[in-house]
Structure 1
Amino acid sequence: MKPKKLIMKNFGPFIEETLDFDQVATTGLFLISGKTGAGKTTIFDGMTFALFGETSGNLRAGKEMRSMFASPSEETSVSFTFAHQSLFYEILRRPEQILSKKRGDGVTNQAAKVQLTIFDAAGKELKQLSKRNEVDQFIKELLQLDAKQFFQIMMLPQGEFRNFLIATSNDKEKVLRNLFGTHLYQGFNEWLKEQQKAQNKTLEQQQQLAEQLLSRFDWQQEQPVFSTAEALEAWTADLEQQTAAIATMQTQKSEIDQAYQKTQTLFYQAKERENLRQEQQVLLEQQVALEASAPMINQKKHQLEALSWAAEKQPIWQRRMEKGAAYRHAQNQAAAAQDQLRSIQLQQQDWQAQRPIIEQRKEALEQATMKQRMFDSLLPIAQQAHKQQQALSDLRQEAQRQQTKRQAFEREESQFAAQQAQWSAEIEAAGDHQTVKIQLLECKNLLEKWLEIKEQYAKATADHQQRTVQEQALINKQTHLDKQETTLTVTLKTETSQNAKMQIARLQLLLEPDEPCPVCGATDHPNLQAHASYTIEDIMESEQRLLRTQKELTTAKEQLSANHTLLQQCQQQLAETHTLIEERQQAKEKAWQALFAALQVLEDGQAKITEATAADYLKQRMIVLDQQTAAVQKAQQQLQTLAQQQKTISNEKQALIEAEAAVTTKQQLAEGRMAALMEQLSGYSIQEIETQRLELKKLIQQQTNEIDSDAAQGAELEKNTVILSEKVDNLQTFSQEKQQEWQQANKDIDGFLQEAGYTEAQFEALLSRLSEKEALSMEVKQYQQDLYATQQRLATLEQRLADAEPVDSEALSEQCQQLEATREQMQEQIIQKQEKRRNNQLIYQELHMIYAQNVQAMDQLSQLQQLAETINGENSKKTSLERYVLQRYLEEILVVANARLARLTRGRYQFELADKVGSYRSSTGLEIDIYDDNAGQVRRAHTLSGGESFIAALALAISLADVIQAKAGGIEIEALFIDEGFGSLDEESLEMAMEALEMIESEGRMIGIISHVRELRTRITQQVFVETNGGGQSQIRIKE
């Protein structure tokens, strides 16, 4: 990726500035200079924001980069164009920002926007993306970098990599961890610590269980214990005591037990003797077989001794083979050197035969040289005469031109003085417009706040009025519903009474004598009341009217209840809006007081402004201020241009005056010199002199080359003769030495072969069988072990069976059975004691299992601790796992950096990763040393000079960027920006740094140096100036 153009509008200190990289980077190297804080680094911020929507280092959000000098209606945007693989990409990005409305008053919050357009090499549009997610994803896939990596690859911050070069391993680890994302190793170390805590917790829980078991054990004789291991040992002894106590309680059966045990012992002894006699018979047979194999084993012993002797003498035999090969090689070298010497001697004889011819060439060369010297002395005189004649003519013309030009300068000076007075008066009349602008912006913000609160007050008032109307409507409706309910209640009573009369009349007509009345239950009604006559239709119609009235009354009651609820809600909302109106009224008055106070400050207390005229007043003042600002900026630019022109004209006028006097003097001197030169030429023209000189020069060069070539040939032949003579002597001596060594080796072999009685063929045969030596040794050793074991066991059996007498084992077996029956009957008496012992045994086993688990857990904990210590760097190398991984990354970076450093230092320096273990972990593992080829030894990076450190840091930084870029898999970044780092360099170091940058430039990179160092302005022709106007606003100017 190569930057092409950057356009920043209302971004940082820039209002509308364009930087064309094709214009400033024609040679690849360019300087960005300006005062501190002018906005040099903001140029790089602009590129980073256009690509990723954030600034370099992500120190400020995009919306925070909006210029304070921007007009409220003008957008902030950055357009960045770059090229890659014959395609051009133009990305336009706008941050989230607050702008004034295009229609009416007030402001609007504009969301962030982005647009990416792709063009081919001919400028034809291929594709356009305008959705933020699509553009961000496309840039990410194209570059394969995020904003942080882009910043690390393209920008070298102030002294950062010089510090990285000499930093401790701890500091390097922090930087590389962020670059290569090795945080997981650090997290793994924390995980191990958590595992250790968990293991310790498990051990504590098991220890609690063990303490519970310790309290449950029923001691025979309690003892103090201080650990689980001591408890297990003490319990073992206590269990034995319990066993002994049980035996003591078995007093009544002790005699039977003793008899039983004695009889049983005799029985077992009898059975054991029978088994031993059987084993003795088998071993005797095995001994006979082994003794029969003795002659064969003795033969193999002799073979083993011979092979051991051959293995011991094998190095001497090998040495004779090596000496013989060395002797033959030396003979061949000596013969070849002798042939080369004879060839050189023949060439030397031919060279001596050419001596007379060479002497004749030397005499002719001396004559030609003398003649050439004569013409050489005349040529400067002729050239001087020619130049002098031309100079006279030029001096006369120059004198006339200078006089005319001086008169023109005097006229311009008078015009410039008048213009300067006029523009200075305009600037002075404008006053401090920047302060006024800040005050106006403050007033405008206060006005917008006041208008917003005023609008909220009006809205709250309108809402209150609307709810008041709504309340009155609900009250009217409530009154209407109350009346309707009363009317329907009366109607319902009337309809109910009328319906009851109709029902009674109907029932009278249906009464039968002596039947109970359905109303009162009586059987006799002597005085029946007279009723009107009603039909069935009249009664049914009355019932329907009654039902309708009941339904209407129910509906009226429901509406009345609902209306009452709405009325309560409305009244509550009215109270809330009333409170809100009071709050907005107070806020509005407070905002107006703040605005009015600010306007009074703006007009020095003379402002006559009302709430109705405030907005128009500020608008008019802003228009006037913008006009004044434009006029002042124009006057300042014109005044600055005029001052530069005045200075230039004044300098040129003074130079002209001095030049006029000098021309007159030169003209007089030139005429005198011309006459003297013509006398010295003696009739030769400059053309004749130059022709003679060229011909003589060719002749002299030809003869000189032939003589020098002959002399060089003779010297070379003499040199080769001496070298080859010495070489022949040395090789012959070397050949004799090798012959003596070979002969001595033969004597050594003959000596030990005669001593042992072997021939060379027999010895070679032994050497070929050395592979059998180990098998023979194992076979002989196994035989000896088997024979010794058999003999020892037979001796033991013979000793044990020597005094044994025959015993009837069947009788002993019967006697044991009888005693066992009696013993079993008495065993029941000690069941309780045995039960107690069993319970203790179960507790013992459970504690033993916990103890075994603890031992295993302790072993795991030890392994975890050892692993954690190793990963954390607590080892002989003092290197953690994360640092070991970072070593591999750093080695990869140094391999790339060494290729570049070798070129920058002409092969003198190379980076090396120090393998020495430091006193502390902080200085071990990532230390970088420098191998100095001139000194032939390794140096610390701290010992490099300023210029050398800059070159080393530059190579390291660029290589680090290359490795990051390669691992990310993105496109190649063909641009590099270096932010400062030159101010601390002396003159020599600065020279070295510039040479290094020029070499990096030759790789095809575009390099931009961000610096205010004055010396760089004279060294770098392509320059970009970031200039301030004194009020915080900056402009970009390209040096013409």
Structure 2
Amino acid sequence: MKLHKLVLQAFGPYTERVVLDFDAGLAGSTMFLIHGKTGAGKTTILDGLAFALYGEASGSARSGAMLRSDFVDKKSKTEVELEFSLGSTRYRVRRTPTYTVEGNKTARQATAALYEIADVGEHLVAGKPNDVTSRIVALTGFDAKEFRQVVLLPQGEFRTFLLAKSNERSKLMTTLFDTGKYGVLEAKLKERRDAIRTANEENRREQERLLGEASADNAAALQKQAEDEAAGLAAKRAAVESAGAQHTAAQQALADGTALAGWFDKLREAEAAQAADAQKQEKVEAYRQQLDRAKRAVLLMDKAKHAQQAQANAKESAQRAKELETARQTAEAKAKQAEAAFTAEEAKRPQREASRQRAQSLAEAQKTIHAIVVLRDQAAAVGRAAKNAAAQNTQATAAAAAAKKTVDRLHFLERAGKAFSLAQGLVDGMPCPVCGATEHPHPAETEELVPTDAEIQKAESALARAEKAQAAAQAAEAQRKAEAAALTGKLAAAREHLPEGLAEDETAAAASAREAAVGAQQLEQAYEQARKAHETAQAALSAARANAESSKAYAEAQQAEQEQATRIFGEGCIAAGFPDLAAFLAAIEGRWREPAFLTQVEQHIREFEDQKLQHATQRQEAELQTKGKTRPDLAALQAAAQAAGAAWKQAVETANAAELRLAQEKKQIEQLAKLQKAEAALAEKARVIGHLAQVACAEHPYRVHFQTYIQKSIFDDVMAAANERLRIMSSGRYELQNGKEANGHAFEGLAIAVFDAYTGKKRETSSLSGGESFLASLALALGLADTVTRYSEGIRLDTMFIDEGFGSLDEETLDTALKALMKLQEGGRVIGIISHVKELAECIGDRIEVVKTTKGSTAHFAHGTLAE
């Protein structure tokens, strides 16, 4: 990872926006110091880096929510932004923490966004805090804790990787060197072995299940059972055929007996039906006679209906003629009233004409008064404007006169000044340049100042402007007077058209016009209403007369039609055999007048005759089938058929069961053969895969996991690279070696001990002093960075930060540690050191200077050592 730019805003002690451009600030330098007084905010820069990437501070004691500056107001936004690159890809990440602004109850939630920067712009990779963190972990290969152990070595946590437990160190090695794939291989081998074992166990259980279903001890016993079952199957099939023949014979005997018993039952039923037919015969004959009378009466129904309808029509038309005659009389009375009212309104024609003309005259007068009022207002306004123009003309004339007076005076002073100047040069005995005299008894004198040409030009310009203003004012006054005269003439002309006695009051004129218009409108409406009422009444009278005459003629025609229909119906009744109306009505009483009912009765009579004939035929056929025979014992025949059926069913079930058992046993024999063959193949796989899993997973008697073996090999290289620096830093005293955990057992070959050349013994890393622990941790971190760079195809530790720790070193050891760091720069890695140790500031030329003030801190890049 390579850093390009860090931006802090309202973050920790930094109140203003701080931009640290590493590309421009370092300019190729590979070691720099973060320098400043205690509490100025040096470690906060590391907090900003860690927070931008992971949403956490560089130290475990500080959370993102604690990093908002206490110096800023509530409007300032706390934000961190970091630009960095991984390989050839450049990224920009921006975060804000969760914090509560003073005076607000609701906290502002954390935000985050990660962008990938390209030549054509940038695009969003992740837009939520958790998503950004997950993406950063995937890109860098570190989580926040691992980042602090390898890249960012914060104050108070510097020795974490040195003193970590082996299992924690193994986790970091898995990330840095991608050894997880070897652990995956171990898991896959173990999973494959366990799957083979499970399949083998399932195979054995399946064989046991098959033998248990067959009730056999082994495959040979099952084969013997199948052979015995096949031998007895032929006898069982012969028994089925014999029982089937007996069952068929019994069934046929039962069917024949059932059919004969049925004929005896039909004979009894036919005899009972004929007896019932004899009882119904008399009633059927009565219905037949009634049906005949109804049919004859139905033929007269249309004539009866016509006579009844003609009678109703005659009655209705007579009533209608009477009502229309009454309506005619009422229409005549209304027509007389409407005609009288219309005649009265016609007599008011002169009054209506006079009212209309008055309303029109007042409307025209209202317009004239409005025009007079407008002209009067305009004349007043123009009169005021004329007075103003006259006043302005007077002022302009006075101003022009004053300006001319000023110009004249200046010209006079100018001439006087020239004479004075000439007199100043006169000398007695010398000729005057004007008159040539040699004596000068009265030379010109003046006490006033002579004006300059600029003053004269300014006065002349003022005079020109005043004269121009005077001319404009005179023209304006003349125009206003002309306008006033024109308006006065228009006003006089308008008043000549105003009717006498009408005041120049728009409100009164409007009221009079409205009153006259309403009066004229009311008279016109009364006339129109009377005219329309007269026309309507006349039309209604004509219609009433026509309706009355038509209705009377129609009633007379209906009466004649009634008499004719009644006569025709009477003649029809006599011809059909009905002596009178009562006999006709009796024939169609109730439902007998309904054609559907007559059809139904006729159908019932035919059905009765058909059934009577059918019953006679059935009796003859039943007597023929039972002649000379007795009723069979159906119960005995049924019992014999059931017994034969049961015997046949039992024989079939026995044979089917034997066939099923034989087929099942053959299938079981085949399945056992397949399972035994698969068992042999699984045994071979279990032998090979099981041994590989045993070795890779460090199962007894093997002790080292495959992944551990790989990690131990890499870790040996890490410690070798670390010891190259530790031996220099400790002057050959200390060396890192493989150690044991606190419980005395080596864990995966990643435990660390320190060999002390002074005592010739190993000891635990926790026994080192503060300065010794710092040197060992620094050497281990640098060795880890070298090994990662050498092994990894993706992860490259281009930048490291070291927070404090140098203060615990003596001068000689400090010099040795710095030499080791200087050598590290040769690989192009950038080292950032946070320290207030004076010796570091005097030997490291590039630094970020952190300045603490009463209003917060600032930071910027500086160059040159403090000694310089």
TM-score normalised to the size of structure 1? 0.32
TM-score, normalised on structure 2? 0.37
Q: Which has the larger radius of gyration?
A: 2
